[in-house]
């Protein structure tokens, strides 16, 4: 599956400074990770620091799937508002999921500090806004629910938003969010893990996995085998190729990045923002004063049809930007498309879909893929050791 268009933002400004070989012999390892994006890299970091022997493979160049197309808004809010998620999954699961997302933002900061990655991480506020009167009841209900569960949020009215440069009528301001360059972090994590002894093979496509005498035997396209005690699938939306159960609806999403501007709206200096539209629009700034915005999601059909829409989506997104920020000219510099997925409850999937196989999945679907992945690495050892874990229960496959 082609997960993104041929030109995205992060690889162009963060040229890869290391390359990895394709596999050229049969190997044996303790744990095999399939997928070399941000999720696979975070999982590798966790396992290497647990003293595990790890090999990682990716069917393309590492970090060049969905990671390269991510806009990397790190928020604890999931795609479904808290008050609605409570109705779907119950109060404890919903509230814990929001709290887990908040903790994940601080956890990823610690990981970045540990490996000394220069990935442009910055803490921000998160502003969830509406420009439509019909959405005010939803926003007020969400604000009330978050306050009830002790999330640090404030209400912003039309005049306060206008002072910040945003044309909207109301918003919830959350104190905890962040931005970063996910492509750089993923590459830095993989280099860190390689230095700690992990084997990394790109351009290595696993075509099938067999279970023999309790071992997982992965067969590659070029006829080599990888024997492992456990396999961890960090393949994101490509997991639809290997999962028997349908757990996600694939979507095409679009993003644009401006030229570096001398000035940006005040609200984007300190916050990431997103709205109540369905699908929603989202906006963030970069350290070099670019503005990235995305949205315009559609059902995914195939990569060619997705990418063919990019020129049309450029115009559409720039028009939406003008509606929200009428005083700022968006000078387009980059545009791209990516594939993401929606789950029935907006939450990820962790663990073993088949308890008889030592194949584990860490799938951070939705707009919170990176924070979900950080949450998942804290449960991966329990999945390997068949231990009970609350997150493995919340985000299991048969829920």
Contact present, 283 and 272 (Cβ < 8 Å) = yes
For residue 107, tell me if it sits in a domain: no
CATH of the domain at 204: 3.50.50.60
Residue range(s) defining the domain that contains residue 355:
9-69+183-247+346-394
Give, for all 399 residues of the chain, the pLDDT tens digit.
554 455 566 665 565 568 899 999 999 999 999 999 999 999 999 999 999 999 999 999 999 888 988 999 999 999 999 999 999 999 999 999 999 999 999 999 999 999 999 999 999 999 999 999 999 999 999 999 999 999 999 999 999 999 999 999 999 999 999 999 999 999 999 999 999 999 999 999 999 999 999 999 999 999 999 999 999 999 998 998 999 889 999 999 999 999 999 999 999 999 999 999 999 999 999 999 999 999 999 999 898 999 999 999 999 999 999 999 998 999 999 999 998 889 999 999 999 999 999 999 999 998 899 999 999 999 999 999 999 999 999 999 999
| 163: in domain | no
Q: Is residue 293 included in any domain, yes or no?
A: no
Q: Residues 222-273: pLDDT tens digits?
A: 999 999 999 999 999 899 899 988 999 999 999 999 999 999 999 999 999 9
Question: What's the pLDDT tens digit per position in 297-331?
Answer: 999 989 899 999 999 999 999 999 999 999 899 99
Residue 51 lies in a domain: yes
Do 277 and 129 contact (CB within 8 A), yes or no? no
Residue 171 inside a domain? The answer is no
- Residue 74's nearest CA partner among 112, 37, 124 is 124
181-203 exposure pattern, b = at least 16 Cβ within 10 A, e = fewer: bbbbbbbbbbbbbbeeebbbbbb
Q: Are 169 and 181 in contact (CB under 8 A)?
A: no
pLDDT in the model for residue 8: 65
H/E segment holding residue 286: none
Is residue 220 in a domain?
A: yes
**369 inside domain:** yes
CA separation (Å) from 247 to 338, 342, 363, 364, 399? 19, 9, 10, 12, 10
Q: Given its phi and psi angles, is residue 322 left (phi above 0), alpha (psi -120 to 50 degrees) or beta?
A: alpha
What is the pTM for the complete model shown? 0.93
> Do you find a cis peptide bond into 83, omega within 30 degrees of 0?
no
Assess if residue 292 is contained within a domain.
no
Domain count, the chain: 1
């Amino acid at each position: 599956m082609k997960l993104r268009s041929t030109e995205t933002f992060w690889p162009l400004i963060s040229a890869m400074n290391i390359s990895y070989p394709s596999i050229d012999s049969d190997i044996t390892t303790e744990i095999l990770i399939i997928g070399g994006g941000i999720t696979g890299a975070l999982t590798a970091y966790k396992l290497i620091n647990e003293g595990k022997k790890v090999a990682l493979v990716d069917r393309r160049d590492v970090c060049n799937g969905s990671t390269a197309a991510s806009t990397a808004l790190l928020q604890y809010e999931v795609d479904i508002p808290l008050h609605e998620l409570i109705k779907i999954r119950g109060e404890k699961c919903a509230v814990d999921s929001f709290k887990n997302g908040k903790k994940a933002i601080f956890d990823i900061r610690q990981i970045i500090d540990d490996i000394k990655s220069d990935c442009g991480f910055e803490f921000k506020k998160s502003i969830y806004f509406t420009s439509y009167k019909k959405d005010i009841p939803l926003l007020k209900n969400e604000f009330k629910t978050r306050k009830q569960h002790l999330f640090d949020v404030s209400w912003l009215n039309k005049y306060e938003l206008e002072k910040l440069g945003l044309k909207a009528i109301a918003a919830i301001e959350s104190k905890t969010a962040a931005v970063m360059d996910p492509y750089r972090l993923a590459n830095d994590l993989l280099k860190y893990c390689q230095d700690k002894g992990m084997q990394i093979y790109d351009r290595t496509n696993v075509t099938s996995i067999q279970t023999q005498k309790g071992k997982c035997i992965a067969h590659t396209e070029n006829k080599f085998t990888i024997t492992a005690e456990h396999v961890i699938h960090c393949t994101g939306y490509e997991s639809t190729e290997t999962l028997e159960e349908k757990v996600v609806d694939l979507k095409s999403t679009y993003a644009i990045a401006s030229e570096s501007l001398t000035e940006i709206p005040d609200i984007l200096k300190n916050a990431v923002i997103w709205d109540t539209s369905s699908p929603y629009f989202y906006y963030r700034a970069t350290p070099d004063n670019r503005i990235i915005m995305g949205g315009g999601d559609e059902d995914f059909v195939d990569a060619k049809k997705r990418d063919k829409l990019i020129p049309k989506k450029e115009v559409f997104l720039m028009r939406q930007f003008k509606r929200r920020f009428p005083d700022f000219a968006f000078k387009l510099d980059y545009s791209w498309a990516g594939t993401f997925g929606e789950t029935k409850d907006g939450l990820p999937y962790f663990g073993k879909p088949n308890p008889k196989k030592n194949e584990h999945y860490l799938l951070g679907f939705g707009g919170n893929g990176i924070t979900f992945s950080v949450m998942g690495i804290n449960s991966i050892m329990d999945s390997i050791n068949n231990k009970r874990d609350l997150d493995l229960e919340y985000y299991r496959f048969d829920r």
